Structure 1
């Protein structure tokens, strides 16, 4: 209707143009877009810090995050802004702390409803529990789609008041799982403008989610999807186009460094193909924080590229100045704002409030919600299951090995009676730090493995094992620059050298001191996620299915810890790199 009215009035306006006083020039309409990404059900402050400046070793670290503080920050940033919308770029749920994940991320949806989120592009973790459960999060209700019962705290789950967008997630009938786009009007009368939003996830989502969870959908090319929709939105009257995409970049700059030095990552080739009609790209997935003027790299695409890190620790405050007559953006700017929350006493000591940044008090309504779900989760989480002799962390050594990954692989080998077990590094979501007397609780184990994957057994030859390990460095997003290291169980070890050619980087493999034989079939334990080729480890799909498995991964880990009584941290040395230190971890 707006478009038709504009066309009918165009001749009259043109006739008056020569008599319009210069003083009556149209002022741009300013629209605020507040953006988050990768919230991951972070109800409570995550006891992490935003590095806000300073030299290496003396960085200025600001405590941040927590749903109640995020609500307060967003409310404060909206003050005085007549035209405002809050949006997200995916992974709001999935991979969440215990208090949210134990209740199927219902509390995260409740919190985001209270915060006033309006749009969210689906991310890969939104699919962790399957498309049926994701539809339930959107539409509400208490139908059970997983091993956990829904609606255990609130008997009537209303679903998300915000709208999921899934432009490149195709169902069997050729439609999209959720709407591809959304339009939002701002202002009144002649000063009214409209912004079109496109929401989508990375095309490689199928490599990051267990295939059974997404068997009824397919993921299309990101740039092709966006470029098809931009002219459609313009035809519908969009004066600006904003893309919400769950894919991202890396930068060597700090959280609000506008220069974005050392820009890299999987989103860059997508940006290079985009229709020049895109004005802003709100991104995620890499958990990085940045505000980049992409026009400096590509003048043909002067878009603004942003990301707000993760876990609600930052909010990106974007302002678009839009000329309502010409229907175009005439200026754009953005800043990442730290959601400073509470001081905390963590492994590095007490981190106090930084007076140089705004401290946002907890929003009472959201805080009451969080407290209710934390209280409901506490008796489940605090059950002691065993003891460990020291903290087990996800941080990798120079060879890419972790003690926590070794423990989980050992547990999976025991549960499946496997000769060798593999654990994908980024399936480990929290460190395992013992409490008083070395105690470990079920809640801690669940935080380590919150996805509910099921264990399986495959038969792989020695030659297939070699090809599998080569895929750590050359398969999809697994590269020499960003290796994706599999953690391995006790008794199996290998050496590698990244200076060698592709296909020759695995130098040796042994099992209990004997060399792996190319023709022999080995019994391999793993999750259903890996068994279906997750994380680009497609060699697993060629393995022969063997009897065994069937347990959830967290149940296997619990059984292993319970049986051991007290676990000593596994010694490192199962994975040995023969050349230089390991590269940074891959995208999450």
Structure 2
């Protein structure tokens, strides 16, 4: 059921109930507006072969196969049909780190899908900057100007986004926002007219998540300060409700629940604590988590409704606002994450079918046909074989998303081997840079499309020199309480133990290399991806290291490693071990 709470009684309506004329009754009754929200779509045109873990109604959990643009479209339509007044919004990372059928075409088809779905606003996320400022401006404005190595407008002339990008906290050299900071939409007329003010922004930490070349000349202001500055401006324009779309979020604890808010943690919390109390709704993202939180239960001074719809279009949030057109404020609000159940698939643990516990959606024909055009055009890339693997290589999911698993080990081995000519002895892979598990066909076969789902970024790998002490410091940064924990996956021969019960800076309890303790004074050649070599994901020690040599792209390294043997074996050894309790 939707999570619902009331923010103020309709006292005026109650007092006038016995004597008001019908027109007064009508004016005093709340106006309902539906907000259909999502986040972190990441160009997921086809079903992503992933699931949503949700309650099964019997005290257990069920995995629900979900996602795919055509199914997403049907789910969105079903929600809109409930609301004569509705607004469709996204909290960033709509594009980039995308499936091949979108990425090969610079995410033009994803924007095309969103145009067809009638999205109103999208907050700019960190991944929107992956191809640079000029290319992002092209996403909004359209055209076929070339700003990347890929050719634009390969299948059709690109018209640009019919929805509005919002970027309140992304400031250009002259201090003005790169895109508008806010938008406003009105519904109804006369005394029944209500207006929704929308603020859109990305996280302040975008500089740690994007290549410096992509954001050159841009700065990212404090999130809460930016929001609070925009609220009175929207109120002055007549906004009855304030909605924030922010590409920042949190994570819940315990058993997965798409509509739960159990012990929410994350960088969104200190932002909420500083918000103008006139903010009614915060649609969040970035963490790829799903939740619905009545924040008034945590902090009555900030009675905001907080939502997030996971990742890859697997869920959509159905949000209902009731607005008093006389008092000009929200009097009730509720939200519910709807799972976009689509088609069965084979996971790393075997076949996963549909369930009757949650609704199943049919693909919307026009969206399915539009997507298929790009899927067919990309088959020359996706269908070609790249090698064989002995079985599924998996990454951590849910609460363990900061662990690379056996797939992290595979990638690290591939990148070390690909940079042997640069002297590479060790390689590390960041788990958050791994987008999906790698599941071969029954005979072990893998296609380029399979490995592209795992690594869609096109990062070049870099080999640099680090001392043993610097390597330890890098591993410590994965557990420094500055952002979510992240255990770098190492190549074979390297192993370490993490003890979260220890103080920050001493949580790496031991490190071995080739069976011996790592020499803190020795120099080692270490391979990482280009994102990490610029200090990405908070691993700042890796930035600007000496004797750096740039190698092939990460996906080329993985393909070469797979092709170099008739059948690659998934590494079975435990390279990262956790000991002790969190503290």
| TM over 0.5, shorter chain | yes
The SS at the match of 1:577 is strand
How many Å apart are 1:348 and its aligned residue?
Answer: 5.2
Q: Judging changes above 3 Å, is the alpha-carbon distance between structure 1 residues 578 and 343 closer, same or farther for their aligned structure 2 residues? A: closer
Post-superposition CA distance 1:402-431 (Å, at most 9, x none): 221112112222222212211111111121
Aligned equivalent of 1:437: 443
Tell me the CA shift for residue 358 of structure 1: 3.5
Select 2:415's aligned residue among 389, 412, 415.
Answer: 412
Q: Is the 8 A contact 2:395 2:401 kept in 1?
A: no
Counterpart of 2:328 in structure 1 is: 327
CA RMSD of aligned residues (A): 2.5
**How far apart are 1:574 and its partner, in Å?**
2.7
Any unmatched runs of 5+ in structure 1?
Answer: 1-16, 584-588
State yes or no: 1:457 paired with 2:475: no
Show the counterpart of 1:172. Answer: 173
Q: CA deviation at 1:368?
A: 0.4
| C-alpha distance after superposition, 1:133-176 (max 9, x if no partner) | 2222222222233332222222x111211111111111111111
- Residue in 2 aligned with 1:70? 72
Find 2:473's aligned residue among 458, 467, 472.
467
Q: Are 2:292 and 1:291 equivalent residues in the alignment? A: yes
The aligned residue for residue 193 of structure 2 is: 192
The Cα shift of 1:250 comes to 2.0
SS in 1 for 2:44: coil
TM-score (norm 2): 0.89
The question of 1:32 aligning with 2:34 is answered yes
Secondary structure of the corresponding residue to residue 551 of structure 1: strand
- The DSSP-based 3-state class of the residue aligned with 1:316 is strand
Relative to structure 1, is the Cα distance of residues 475 and 522 closer, same or farther in structure 2, using a 3 angstrom cutoff? farther
Q: Distance in 2 between matches of 1:352 and 1:59?
A: 14
Q: What is the rounded CA distance, in whole Å, between the counterparts of 2:119 and 2:555 in structure 1?
A: 32
265-274 or 329-338, which moves further after superposition? 329-338
SS at match of 2:110: helix
Aligned residue runs from structure 1 range 86-165, under 5 A: 86-154=88-156, 156-165=157-166
Question: 2 CA distance for matches of 1:510 and 1:349?
Answer: 35
Aligned to 1:524: 526
Q: CA deviation at 1:556?
A: 1.7
Bigger mean CA offset, 60-69 vs 377-386: 60-69
Report the alpha carbon displacement of residue 59 of structure 1 after superposing the two structures with TM: 2.4
SS in 2 for 1:431: coil
Paired positions, count: 558
Cα distance in 1, alignment partners of residues 145 and 449 from structure 2: 25
In structure 2, do the counterparts of structure 1 residues 507 and 347 end up closer, same or farther at CA, with 3 Å as the change threshold?
Answer: closer
Matches within 5 A, 1:191-340: 191-252=192-253, 255=257, 257=259, 260-340=261-341
Q: 1:313 to 1:497 in 2, by over 3 A?
A: closer
Report the CA distance between 1:208 and its aligned residue: 1.9
Aligned partners of 2:469 and 2:326: how far apart in 1? 66
User: CA 1:52–1:448 in structure 2 vs 1: closer, same or farther (change >3 Å)?
Assistant: closer
Quote the Cα distance in structure 2 between the aligned partners of 1:398 and 1:86. 29
Q: 1:422 to 1:195 in 2, by over 3 A?
A: same
Match of 1:507 in 2: 509
SS at match of 1:474: coil
Range moving further from structure 2, 531-540 or 334-343? 334-343
Q: Do the aligned residues in 2 keep the contact of 1:201 with 1:246 (CA within 8 Å)?
A: yes
Aligned equivalents of 1:355, 1:518: Cα separation in 2: 57
Query: Does 2:457 correspond to 1:446?
Result: no
Provide the secondary structure at the position in 1 that maps to 2:299: coil
- How many Å apart are 1:347 and its aligned residue? 5.0
Deviations 1:266-316 (A, max 9, x none): 211110110011011111122222222111212222221112222222221
Q: Secondary structure of the equivalent of 1:564?
A: coil
Deviation at 1:352, TM superposition (A): 4.5
Q: How has the CA–CA distance of structure 1 residues 518 and 60 changed in structure 2, closer, same or farther, with 3 Å as cutoff?
A: closer
Choose 317-326 or 359-368, whichever is displaced more: 317-326
Residues 415 and 549, structure 1, Cα contact 8 Å, conserved in 2? no
Deviates more, 1:407-416 or 1:165-174: 407-416
Is residue 197–residue 234 contact of structure 2 (8 Å, CA) maintained in 1? yes
Higher mean displacement: 299-308 or 143-152: 143-152
Calculate the TM-score normalised by the size of structure 1.
0.89
**CA offset at residue 400 of structure 1?**
4.3
Deviations along 1:92-119, one digit per CA (max 9) or x if unpaired, are 1122222222222221111111111110
Cα 1:57/1:529, change in 2 over 3 Å = farther
Once the two structures are TM-superposed, the CA of residue 346 in structure 1 deviates from its matched residue by 4.5
Change (3 A) 1:545 1:141: farther
Residues 447 and 345 of structure 1: CA distance in aligned 2, closer, same or farther (over 3 Å)? closer
Residue 365 of structure 1 deviates from its aligned partner by 1.0
Q: Please say if residues 455 and 527 of structure 1, whose CA atoms lie closer than 8 Å, have aligned partners that are also in contact.
A: yes
User: 2: CA distance between counterparts of 1:356 and 1:493?
Assistant: 43
Aligned mates of 1:348, 1:431 — CA distance in 2: 11
The Cα of 1:81 is off from its aligned counterpart by: 2.6
After TM superposition, the runs of 4+ consecutive aligned structure 1 residues lying more than 6 A away are 396-399
Deviations 1:184-241 (A, max 9, x none): 1111122212111000111112222222222232211111110111111111211111
Displacement, 1:504?
A: 2.5
* Residue matched to 2:550: 549
How far apart, CA to CA, are the structure 1 residues paired with 2:192 and 2:128?
37
1:454-489 per-residue CA deviation (whole Å, 9 max, x = no partner) reads 1222221222112111111116214xxxx2111112
Matching residue of 1:497: 499
